[in-house]
C-alpha cells in the first residue's frame, strides 16, 4: 500500500474515531454513574417518589416516569394520525403546490428550535386558553415536535411503493382511498418506524417541557388536565442543585432515560426490517 493510501486511511479512521468518541464517552459516563445508583436504589427507583433534598435517601422517579409515559403517549395519539394523513396527501399529490409547500414546512419544522415550540404552546394553550401547566399542554408541544419526523419517514416509506403500484392501481380504476391503503400496507414497516423514531425523539426532549410541565416532582397525574412533570425536567433541575442525593438521582434517571430511548430506536430498526416489501 502506498504512503498516500496509508495516510488517507489513517486520516479517515481518525476522523471516524473522533466522530464517535464523544458519544461513547457520554454513554460510558452515564452507565458508570447510573448503574451504581440503580444498584443502590433497587426496584424502588421505579416505584418511589423523588427524595427530599440533602438526605441519604435516593427515593425514586415514579411520578416523573409516569408523567413522561403519559405525555409521550398522548403526543403520539395526537401526532401519529396527523402525520399519516399528511404523508398520504403529500405522496398522492406530490406535484401539487400544497404538497411541495408542506414538504418544505416539514423540513423547516425539523430544524425549528424546540424551546420556541414550548414557549409558543405555553403562551397559546397555557395562558391564552387558560389551561395552565398540565399533561395536555405538554403533549401538544411534543406532538408539534414529533409530527415532522413521523411525516417525513412515512412519506419516504410510501413513496417507493407508489412508483411501482400507483399507475397500475390507477389503470384499474381504484380510488385514492384504495391506493392509499395499498401504499400503507407495502410501506407499513417504514411508517411504524417513523412513529417510533418520533417517540424516541420526544421522550428525551427537555426545552419545551420547561414551559409546559411543573417542577413539583412528588405528584402523580390524575388526568390529562392535571399538573405533570417528566424525567428530562427532573434531570435538568436535579443536576443543577447543590444536593448530592439529587445528583445521584439525576444520574440514575439519565441512565434509565437513555435505555428507554435506545430501546425505542432498536424497536424501530426491527420494525423497519420486518415491514412490507418496500420498507
34 vs 105, 138, 153, 158, 254, CA distance in Å?
39, 27, 33, 40, 7
Query: Where residue 182 falls among pLDDT bands split at 50, 70, 90?
Result: confident
Selected residue with higher pLDDT from 185 and 136 = 136
125-155 confidence digits (pLDDT tens) = 999 998 888 999 999 999 999 999 999 999 9
Question: Model confidence at 277, in pLDDT bands (50, 70, 90)?
Answer: low
In Å, how far from its chain's centre is CA 244? Answer: 29
pLDDT digits (tens, 9 = 90+) for 33-61: 999 999 999 999 999 999 999 888 999 99
DSSP code of 131?
-
What pLDDT was estimated at residue 95?
83
Q: Could you give the domains of the chain?
A: 73-273 (1.10.3720.10)
More confident residue, 40 or 175: 40
175 band by pLDDT with thresholds 50, 70 and 90 = confident
Q: What is d(CA 33, CA 38) in angstroms, rounded to the nearest whole number? A: 9
Closest CA to 229 of 140, 146, 134, 123: 134
Provide CB contacts within 8 A for 152, sequence distance 6+. Answer: 106, 107, 110, 194
Q: pLDDT per residue over 60-74, tens digit each? A: 999 999 999 999 999
Which single residue is written with the C-alpha cell 447510573? 34
What are 265's three cell numbers?
A: 430506536
- Retrieve residue 244's grid coordinates: 448530592
Calculate the alpha carbon distances from 247 to 74, 203, 233 in Å.
29, 21, 13
**pLDDT band at 178; cut points 50, 70, 90:** confident
Q: Which has more pLDDT, 222 or 206?
A: 206
Tens digit of each residue's pLDDT (9 = 90 or more) over 2-31: 777 788 888 899 999 999 999 999 999 999
Q: Measuring CA to CA, which residue among 251, 249, 264, 255 is closest to residue 63? A: 249
Task: Show Cβ contacts of residue 97 under 8 Å, excluding neighbours closer than 6 positions.
Answer: none
Least confident of 4-18, 166-180, 245-259: 166-180
Amino acid at each position: 500500500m502506498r504512503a498516500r493510501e496509508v495516510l488517507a486511511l489513517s486520516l479517515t479512521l481518525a476522523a471516524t474515531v473522533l466522530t464517535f468518541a464523544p458519544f461513547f464517552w457520554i454513554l460510558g459516563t452515564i452507565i458508570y454513574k447510573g448503574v451504581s445508583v440503580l444498584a443502590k436504589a433497587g426496584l424502588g427507583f421505579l416505584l418511589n417518589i423523588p427524595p427530599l433534598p440533602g438526605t441519604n435517601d435516593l427515593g425514586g422517579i415514579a411520578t416523573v416516569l409516569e408523567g413522561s409515559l403519559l405525555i409521550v403517549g398522548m403526543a403520539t395519539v395526537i401526532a401519529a394520525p396527523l402525520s399519516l394523513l399528511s404523508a398520504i396527501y403529500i405522496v398522492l399529490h406530490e406535484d401539487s403546490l400544497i404538497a411541495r409547500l408542506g414538504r418544505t414546512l416539514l423540513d423547516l419544522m425539523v430544524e425549528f428550535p424546540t424551546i420556541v415550540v414550548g414557549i409558543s404552546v405555553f403562551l397559546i394553550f397555557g395562558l391564552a386558553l387558560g389551561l395552565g401547566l398540565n399533561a395536555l399542554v405538554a403533549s401538544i408541544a411534543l406532538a408539534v415536535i414529533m409530527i415532522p419526523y413521523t411525516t417525513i419517514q412515512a412519506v419516504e416509506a410510501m413513496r417507493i411503493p407508489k412508483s411501482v403500484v400507483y399507475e397500475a392501481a390507477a389503470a384499474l380504476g381504484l380510488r385514492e382511498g384504495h391506493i392509499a391503503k395499498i401504499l400503507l400496507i407495502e410501506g407499513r414497516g417504514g411508517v411504524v418506524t417513523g412513529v417510533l423514531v418520533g417517540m424516541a425523539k420526544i421522550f428525551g426532549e427537555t426545552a419545551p417541557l420547561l414551559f409546559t410541565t411543573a417542577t413539583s416532582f412528588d405528584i402523580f397525574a390524575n388526568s390529562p388536565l392535571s399538573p405533570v412533570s417528566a424525567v428530562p425536567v427532573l434531570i435538568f433541575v436535579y443536576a443543577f442543585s447543590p444536593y448530592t442525593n439529587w445528583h445521584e438521582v439525576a444520574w440514575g434517571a439519565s441512565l434509565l432515560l437513555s435505555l428507554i430511548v435506545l430501546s425505542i430506536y432498536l424497536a424501530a430498526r426491527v420494525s423497519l426490517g420486518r415491514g412490507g416489501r418496500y420498507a
